[in-house]
Amino acid sequence: MEEYWDRFMRSGAVRDYLEYKGIEMCMEIMQKYDDPAAGMGEKKIGTDYVDGNGPFDHSYR
């Protein structure tokens, strides 16, 4: 991980910084799912089972 940071510090290139941040994010995600309890929590579903017209369908008008 440090080699990517060092590369960015030497070059100052945005591409090197983004590569460093991408690897950092991947490592965080991998650590999250290495936890045995990961994925055992309640998953919130992003819908309230209502169609796109709202709770009442007024599309017949």
Neighbouring C-beta atoms of residue 41, cutoff 10 Å? 7
d(CA 14, CA 50): 43
Cα 26 to Cα 8: distance, rounded to the nearest angstrom? 18
Domain ranges within the chain, ordered by starting residue: 2-34
Predicted TM-score of the model (pTM): 0.48
In the chain, the amino acid numbered 48 is D
Tokens 């936890």 belong to: 35
Looking at the chain, list the stretches that DSSP marks H as alpha helix, in order from N- to C-terminal side. Answer: 2-11, 14-34
Residue pLDDT, tens place only, 13-61? 999 999 999 999 999 999 888 876 655 555 555 555 555 555 565 565 5
Residue with tokens 């290495």: 34
